[in-house]
Protein backbone atom coordinates (compact mmCIF):
# COMPACT_ATOMS: atom_id res chain seq x y z
CA UNK A 1 0.00 0.00 0.00
CA UNK A 2 1.28 3.45 -0.90
CA UNK A 3 0.79 6.41 1.42
CA UNK A 4 1.15 10.11 0.78
CA UNK A 5 3.73 10.63 3.51
CA UNK A 6 5.37 13.59 5.16
CA UNK A 7 8.71 13.51 6.90
CA UNK A 8 9.88 14.79 10.23
CA UNK A 9 13.39 14.79 11.58
CA UNK A 10 13.10 11.18 12.73
CA UNK A 11 9.81 10.03 11.24
CA UNK A 12 7.59 9.49 8.24
CA UNK A 13 3.86 9.88 8.72
CA UNK A 14 0.53 10.24 6.99
CA UNK A 15 -2.04 11.86 9.27
CA UNK A 16 -5.21 13.22 7.71
CA UNK A 17 -8.36 14.15 9.62
CA UNK A 18 -11.99 14.95 8.89
CA UNK A 19 -13.42 17.59 11.23
CA UNK A 20 -17.07 18.65 11.43
CA UNK A 21 -18.61 21.22 13.72
CA UNK A 22 -22.04 22.80 13.74
CA UNK A 23 -23.59 26.12 14.52
CA UNK A 24 -25.27 26.40 17.90
CA UNK A 25 -28.78 24.91 17.81
CA UNK A 26 -28.03 23.91 14.18
CA UNK A 27 -29.23 27.35 13.07
CA UNK A 28 -28.83 28.16 9.38
CA UNK A 29 -26.33 31.00 9.78
CA UNK A 30 -23.63 30.22 7.25
CA UNK A 31 -24.64 32.16 4.14
CA UNK A 32 -22.16 32.72 1.28
CA UNK A 33 -20.56 35.86 2.71
CA UNK A 34 -20.13 34.38 6.20
CA UNK A 35 -18.96 31.07 4.75
CA UNK A 36 -16.27 32.79 2.66
CA UNK A 37 -15.00 34.75 5.68
CA UNK A 38 -15.02 31.54 7.76
CA UNK A 39 -12.92 29.70 5.18
CA UNK A 40 -10.49 32.63 4.98
CA UNK A 41 -10.06 32.62 8.76
CA UNK A 42 -9.55 28.84 8.84
CA UNK A 43 -6.70 29.19 6.33
CA UNK A 44 -5.05 31.86 8.50
CA UNK A 45 -5.35 29.74 11.64
CA UNK A 46 -4.05 26.66 9.83
CA UNK A 47 -0.93 28.51 8.81
CA UNK A 48 -0.28 29.59 12.42
CA UNK A 49 -0.99 26.10 13.79
CA UNK A 50 1.14 24.41 11.11
CA UNK A 51 -1.62 22.23 9.71
CA UNK A 52 -2.43 21.82 6.03
CA UNK A 53 -6.03 22.32 4.94
CA UNK A 54 -6.81 19.82 2.19
CA UNK A 55 -10.41 20.86 1.68
CA UNK A 56 -13.23 22.69 3.45
CA UNK A 57 -16.87 23.27 2.67
CA UNK A 58 -19.89 24.59 4.52
CA UNK A 59 -23.55 23.80 4.60
CA UNK A 60 -25.99 26.29 6.14
CA UNK A 61 -25.41 24.94 9.66
CA UNK A 62 -22.06 23.13 9.69
CA UNK A 63 -18.59 22.93 8.18
CA UNK A 64 -16.44 20.02 7.02
CA UNK A 65 -12.67 20.44 7.11
CA UNK A 66 -10.15 17.92 5.80
CA UNK A 67 -6.66 18.59 7.09
CA UNK A 68 -3.22 17.08 7.45
CA UNK A 69 -1.29 17.41 10.70
CA UNK A 70 2.01 16.44 12.25
CA UNK A 71 2.33 13.85 15.01
CA UNK A 72 3.16 16.68 17.43
CA UNK A 73 -0.02 18.64 16.67
CA UNK A 74 -2.26 19.05 19.70
CA UNK A 75 -5.56 18.36 17.96
CA UNK A 76 -7.92 19.52 20.71
CA UNK A 77 -6.08 22.84 21.11
CA UNK A 78 -6.02 23.33 17.34
CA UNK A 79 -9.75 22.63 17.00
CA UNK A 80 -10.58 24.89 19.94
CA UNK A 81 -8.48 27.65 18.36
CA UNK A 82 -10.31 27.26 15.04
CA UNK A 83 -13.72 27.39 16.73
CA UNK A 84 -12.81 30.22 19.12
CA UNK A 85 -11.09 32.52 16.66
CA UNK A 86 -13.66 32.03 13.90
CA UNK A 87 -16.52 32.65 16.32
CA UNK A 88 -14.92 35.85 17.60
CA UNK A 89 -14.06 37.20 14.14
CA UNK A 90 -17.37 36.31 12.50
CA UNK A 91 -19.50 37.65 15.35
CA UNK A 92 -17.53 40.90 15.28
CA UNK A 93 -17.80 41.31 11.51
CA UNK A 94 -21.41 40.09 11.24
CA UNK A 95 -23.35 41.51 14.23
CA UNK A 96 -26.49 39.67 13.14
CA UNK A 97 -24.84 36.44 14.32
CA UNK A 98 -24.91 37.74 17.91
CA UNK A 99 -28.70 37.92 17.72
CA UNK A 100 -29.05 34.27 16.65
CA UNK A 101 -27.38 32.59 19.64
CA UNK A 102 -25.11 33.38 22.58
CA UNK A 103 -22.24 31.68 20.74
CA UNK A 104 -21.68 30.75 17.10
CA UNK A 105 -20.63 27.10 17.45
CA UNK A 106 -22.12 24.18 19.33
CA UNK A 107 -19.71 23.01 22.05
CA UNK A 108 -19.14 19.63 20.35
CA UNK A 109 -17.31 18.52 17.23
CA UNK A 110 -16.67 15.33 15.26
CA UNK A 111 -13.14 14.28 14.34
CA UNK A 112 -12.11 11.15 12.46
CA UNK A 113 -8.97 9.88 10.86
CA UNK A 114 -9.37 9.17 7.18
CA UNK A 115 -8.36 5.52 7.41
CA UNK A 116 -11.83 4.03 6.90
CA UNK A 117 -12.25 5.50 3.41
CA UNK A 118 -9.82 6.93 0.93
CA UNK A 119 -8.91 10.59 1.03
CA UNK A 120 -10.35 11.03 -2.47
CA UNK A 121 -13.71 9.63 -1.32
CA UNK A 122 -13.74 12.11 1.56
CA UNK A 123 -12.77 15.00 -0.71
CA UNK A 124 -15.66 14.14 -3.06
CA UNK A 125 -18.04 13.94 -0.10
CA UNK A 126 -16.94 17.33 1.26
CA UNK A 127 -17.15 18.95 -2.17
CA UNK A 128 -20.74 17.70 -2.51
CA UNK A 129 -21.75 19.58 0.67
CA UNK A 130 -23.62 22.85 0.51
CB 13 within 8 A of CB 93: no
- Give counts: helices (H), strands (E), the chain: 4, 6
| Predicted local distance difference test score (pLDDT) of residue 115 | 65
For the chain, what is the mean pLDDT? 91
pTM of the model: 0.86
Spans of all domains in the chain: 16-127
CA 92, 94, 97, 99 torsion-angle sign: positive
Q: What is the pLDDT of residues 96-120, one digit of tens each?
A: 998 877 889 999 999 998 865 677 8
Please list, residue by residue across 47-71, b when 16 or more beta carbons sit within 10 angstroms of its beta carbon and e when fewer do.
eebebeebbbbbeeebbbbbbbbee
Q: Does domain 16-127 have CATH number 1.10.10.10?
A: no
The answer, yes or no, to whether residue 122 has pLDDT greater than 80, is no
Distance CA 84, CA 92 (A): 12
Amino acid sequence: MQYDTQSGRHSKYSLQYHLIFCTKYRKNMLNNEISNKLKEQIDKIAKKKDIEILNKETSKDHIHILFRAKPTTNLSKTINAIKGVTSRVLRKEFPELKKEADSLWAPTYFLATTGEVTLNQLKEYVEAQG
